[in-house]
Amino acid sequence: MTASDAVFHRPAYAAELSRQLIHPGVLEEGVRSGVFLSGIRRVGKTTFVRQDLIPALEEHGAAVIYVDLWTDVSKSPATLVYDAVKAEMAKFQNLEPGLLKRFKGGNIGAAGFSFGFQLDSVGAPGGTPLAQAIEELVTAVDADLVLIVDEVQSALQSEDGRALLHALKAARDAVNTRAGNQRHFLFLGTGSHKSLVTDLATRRSLPFTGAVQATYQVLGEDFVQWQLKRVGTAPGAKLPGLAAAAAGFKSMGSRPEELLKALRQLQGVEGTPADQAFGIICQTLACAAADAELRAIEGFGELGQAIFGRIAEGDAQGVSGIFSERALADYRRQTGIDVDAGQVQGLADKLVAANLIARPAHGRYAVVDPIVREAWHSRRALLLGAPQPDSRGAGDDNEPMSN
Ligand SMILES: Nc1ncnc2c1ncn2[C@@H]1O[C@H](COP(=O)(O)OP(=O)(O)O)[C@@H](O)[C@H]1O
Ligand SMILES: [Mg+2]
């Protein structure tokens, strides 16, 4: 491992999430329907899952299967998941070293567990259904089984991926509704496309409606402090104070790689106080990162930009009333063309599909990436000489929760 590979661990977050999954309280039992964790790209979701969450789940005695749908785009989501399940089953069949010790209470004899079917037949046409395979695997380990699918929204993009989701739901129901059953099959999906992940947990037409939705907790000041300390071990390193560093980190979307980049750039600055220089560097990096997305918004034309601008007035909770008479009048004024609600709906749907905006609740819309929102305001302020919006946001004057 090189120095830049070092990981800041988050044991408390991992302990809390794994407790909720494995030992849910009475009010938390919804997790057994599935859990979907969403957050923007490059904020450390995968790192957290692999480095902290999986070990914490294993500490609770669970068996964990992890699949990242973005690792190998040449393979379909279903193939990736089936392969991972089969690989896990093979471990029990062939009795990999250490398994007996980990799953002491399991049904694995000294010769390994024998499944009632050939592993190759799992997921093959006319072969063993996934639900049966997972049921037998849970029986073998005699423990909770957690399947984690990273970037799970990719499964929505193909027929075979959607079939996979239905198969997973069938497996969940088969295991979790067995009479007298103490063991559960838990499904955790994570994703960077907020609104697709929300769809997975809420759309009636999709198999996981009613699942629990959670927002990934981004890294905070303790992470920044850890990183400053590491950079500070280099002789003569220039460092911002913790407050300035934490503010800069947040302004760049709480992305670890951007923080390192900013600290690296700071080393080349002469003459300006570190805090001040660091703030400017972070601003610049955040704008550069948002540039591609700002250009994408321009691709939605005058009306698309007007709609995006209205949504960008709100905060993470989003704004409602983007189809209201008042909003339509504003769009007309801004674009100089006649605008109807249907057009606005069409463009809003396209902006959602492009992962630029999300629909956190019925009739509410929010900008997905806070950096893009900030950059949008800065650029507009620059173009118009207009004041930056206050933190309250103009979204407050919208009628409550209408469509
Ligand atoms: N806890 C952490 N400690 C150190 N670096 C981290 C941490 N979490 C994320 N990173 C770094 O940030 C980058 C993005 O992380 P990743 O887990 O791939 O994000 P995501 O899955 O949200 O896209 C990676 O280079 C990773 O090494
Ligand atoms: Mg990831």
Structure tokens at 267: 């080393």
Residues 60-89, mean pLDDT to the nearest whole number? 92
Residues with CB under 5 A from ligand 2 (ion): 45-46
43 lines ligand 1 (CB under 6 A): yes
Q: Which of 46, 47, 355 to mutate to test the pocket of ligand 1 (most atoms within 8 A of CB)?
A: 47
The pLDDT score that the predictor gives to residue 216 is 96
Residue 217 CB–ligand 1 contact under 6 Å: no
For residue 156, give the DSSP letter. Answer: G
> Of 301, 294, 304, which Cα lies nearest the Cα of 377?
294
100, 108 contact by CB (below 8 A): yes
| Cβ of 8 less than 6 Å from ligand 1 | yes
> Given a cut of 90, is residue 108 above it in pLDDT?
no
d(CA 358, CA 5): 32
Distance 113 CA to ligand 2 centre (A): 33
Out of 42, 45, 154, 258, mutate this one to test ligand 1's pocket (max ligand atoms within 8 Å of CB): namely: 42
DSSP labels for 20-46? HHHS--GGGGGGGG-EEEE--TTSSHH
Q: Which of 177-181, 337-341, 358-362 has the highest mean pLDDT?
A: 337-341
The answer, yes or no, to whether any atom of ligand 1 lies below 6 A from the CB of 50, is no
Predicted confidence (pLDDT) at residue 36 exceeds the cutoff of 50: yes
The fraction of the chain above a pLDDT of 70, given in percent, is 94
| Cα distance between residue 10 and residue 49, in whole Å | 10
Give me the pLDDT at residue 213, please.
Answer: 92
CB of 193 closer than 6 A to ligand 1?
no
Would the pLDDT of 393 be above 60? Answer: no
Give the Å distance between the CA of 192 and the centre of ligand 2: 7
Q: For position 349, what pLDDT does the model report?
A: 93
Cα separation, 168 vs 213, in Å, equals: 17
**pLDDT tens column, 119-160:** 999 988 899 999 999 999 998 888 999 999 999 988 987 888
